[in-house]
Structure 1
Amino acid sequence: MEQNQNREIEILKEQMENLKNNVFAQLDELRAMMTASLPNKPAEEKRRSVHVIHDMHPDKRLSEQMAELCCKTEEKGVHGLVTYFGVYNSSGRQSNWIRNNVSADDLLSLIESGVAGKVLACIGNANRLGMLLEILRGPKTVAELVERCGFGSTGQVYHHMKPLLAADIIAEDEQQKGVYVIQPHKVQGIIMLLAGISDMVDETYTQGTWEINEEN
């Protein structure tokens, strides 16, 4: 009787071992299938000086473009590259823009040259920003700006319009005298500046490697 029980236990152990091996084999097969369905490259790969980021965005095209920017940054020997595009439509007026592989070093040089400071000083005023907002939403007369922006007089509007006109950010509509519009070629700058401010206050869309690289 005891021998039969021992034999049954041995058979049960063998069955358990076989079951375990079958489960592990199925798990390995499933893991291989999942790996094959994923991109060949890891989420991040370290090159000589740049970490190449993969699959950063749900849109495969944008993720591939990000990886390409990382690679080109190293190839060109610059600190970074920027690609951006957008569209803005309001009151039947539309601006579209695309810029590709813009050197971050060239952008930083705008600070050294003083251009960035002058532009920010021109628009970096709550009253002027309020005017830009209203004109971006649609062409406005001086009287409309007085009403919508809370100015006390047309003189105040003209005072704040002066630097915006001088910087060619706004202009009088050629077809409607006394009506002011944003210059079409300046729309993207305003929208992208606001996009930059948005990224300063919300880092949700940023990934990176921030440890110090002692080799560089």
Structure 2
Amino acid sequence: MPGKRPLDPPPAELAERLREVEARLTALEERTPSTGTGKMESNDRKDTKHNRFWVLEGLREQLGGTSGGLIYSGIAPTASGPVEWQYGHTAEEILELDDDHAAIVADRLAALGSPIRLQLMLAVLGGTTSVADLSTLESMGTTGQVYHHVRILTAAGWLRPAGRGAVQVPPDRVVPAMLALAAAL
């Protein structure tokens, strides 16, 4: 037969292969976010295993008719055991901070604004809680300098005393501290 190559599959096989390719393409299109939406759609919104935005779906259900919100949560290992934590705000609460709350937020963020204090936080989260041990870590400076930074972190609520010469990250600050670091990555 002219024009037919010996390796061409039969028409029935070609039709079947085309159906398979179309089915796979359709499945990919359903899993891919629409242009500009930043959101992945799923045929089964309750199937959290395959829905990247299961947290957003849950937040929408919790918020009801409000104009927006923010939820943050996490599970983090610590030297004293795992910490599980979640908290939420409406968008209005965040966008309409009064002067007192704005000052508190600024102080807390400023306390994390030093590379040495960030290293201290990470070391304490990692289980080094003795100020004497913290002062032996590279780039920490003297024990007096470490105490200076520890006082700033303690005043901002990121650390608290944990016995004589020791500090810890309060359980309710572990996940927020990690989220603050993650948000800045």
Same fold (TM over 0.5): yes
Q: Paired residue for 1:137? A: 126
Deviation at 1:104, TM superposition (A): 5.2
Q: Distance in 2 between matches of 1:183 and 1:71?
A: 30
Compute the TM-score of the two structures, normalised by the length of structure 2: 0.66
Contact 1:135 1:180 in 2 (8 A): yes
State the distance in 1 between where 2:183 and 2:11 align: 55
| Highest RCO, 1 vs 2 (Cα 8 Å, sep ≥ 6) | 2
CA distance in 2, matches of 1:45, 1:67: 17
The 2-side partners of 1:194 and 1:111 are apart by: 24
* 1:25 Cα deviation after fit: 3.0
Change (3 A) 1:77 1:45: farther
Is the Cα contact below 8 Å between 2:116 and 2:139 reproduced in 1? no
| Residues 42-57 of structure 1 mapped to structure 2, 5 A cutoff | 43-45=32-34, 52-54=39-41
Q: How far does residue 43 in structure 1 lie from its aligned partner after superposition?
A: 2.8
**Overall identity of the aligned pairs, in %:** 21
Q: What is the deviation of 1:183?
A: 0.8
Q: Offset at 1:180?
A: 1.0
What are the ranges of 5 or more consecutive residues in structure 1 without an aligned counterpart?
1-11, 199-216
Unaligned runs of 5+ in 2: 43-47
Partner of 2:16: 26
1:159 is the counterpart of 2:148: yes
Paired position in structure 2 for 1:210: none
Equivalent residue runs for 1:29-178 within 5 Å: 29-31=19-21, 33-34=23-24, 38=27, 41=30, 43-45=32-34, 52-54=39-41, 60-63=49-52, 65=54, 68=57, 76-78=66-68, 82-99=70-87, 103=90, 106-109=93-96, 113-173=102-162, 176-178=163-165
Give the length in aligned residue pairs: 173
Kindly indicate which of the two structures has a greater share of residues assigned to helix: 1
Q: Which has the larger radius of gyration?
A: 1
CA contact (8 A) 1:50 1:71 kept: no
